[in-house]
A and B are shown apart, each in its own frame.
Chain A
Amino acid sequence: GQQLNQSPQSMFIQEGEDVSMNCTSSSIFNTWLWYKQDPGEGPVLLIALYKAGELTSNGRLTAQFGTTRKDSFLNISASIPSDVGIYFCAGIPPRGAQKLVFGQGTRLTINP
């Protein structure tokens, strides 16, 4: 089936640093989503991207839908302790609206 390769798998940063992570696939997607998961909770939607090339922000978070429709990027600026968690990319393939595909996740740890 379709797969999303998310990198890096983990990040250890200092508070205040910027963070970048990305997701790539060999297949195209119509929609890219970025989720955050806190310990013991389900994923919560951060940003949704609907068109190739789209750049969308949500506070300190910025995400982009790659022009090839096969990748997406998430940036977090000026990280704070509450940014700790696991970040997942997810994609909705063409003709597969019910089959959201998830990346493996990026675990973000922040040293105060």
Chain B
Amino acid sequence: NAGVTQTPKFRVLKTGQSMTLLCAQDMNHEYMYWYRQDPGMGLRLIHYSVGEGTTAKGEVPDGYNVSRLKKQNFLLGLESAAPSQTSVYFCASRQQGTSPSYTFGSGTRLTVV
């Protein structure tokens, strides 16, 4: 089972450039999440989705947009990258209901110069 797959694994952007991070899950999970991980700060929720066609803001949504056009995919977009968005980005998914079993992807390391 592939689980949660994130692409790309690494990316370097110039300030002002745009890009899209792709998250794909093959577990038929309803819920999907995007987190960012910065040194000494744990993981912080950017946006999440509770089903196809729905999205909601998390703790740190500014500068990011998301889309969930298909149940298995959750896209994270940066319209105009800033150095403050240099981070490691993790996607996660879980089944509908109260199960806390989040499955995480292996991350995308993004550097904005």
| Chain B min CB distance to A36 (Å) | 11
- Smallest CB gap from A9: residue in B: B40
Interface residues on B, range: 20 to 34
Asked if A41 meets B100 with Cβ closer than 8 Å, knowing A102-B44, A104-B42, the reply is no
Interface residues on A, range: 20 to 34
**Would you call A100 an interface residue if the criterion is a C-beta within 8 Å of the partner chain's C-beta atoms?**
yes
Whether B107 and A99, one on each chain, are in contact in the complex, defined by CB atoms closer than 8 angstroms, is no
**Would you call A31 an interface residue if the criterion is a C-beta within 8 Å of the partner chain's C-beta atoms?**
yes
Q: Give B28-45 as 1s and 0s: 1 = Cβ < 8 Å from A's Cβ atoms.
A: 000101010000111111
Whether A98 and B56, one on each chain, are in contact in the complex, defined by CB atoms closer than 8 angstroms, is yes
Q: Give A77-112 as 1s and 0s: 1 = Cβ < 8 Å from B's Cβ atoms.
A: 000000000001010100001111011110000000
Whether A88 and B43, one on each chain, are in contact in the complex, defined by CB atoms closer than 8 angstroms, is yes
- Smallest CB gap from A30: residue in B: B98
Hey, which chain B residues are within 8 Å of A40, CB to CB?
106-107
Q: Which residues of B does A touch, CB under 8 Å?
A: 4, 31, 33, 35, 40-45, 48, 50, 56, 58-59, 90, 92, 98, 100-102, 104-107
Q: Which residues of A does B touch, CB under 8 Å?
A: 1, 4, 6, 9, 31, 33, 40-45, 48, 88, 90, 92, 97-100, 102-105
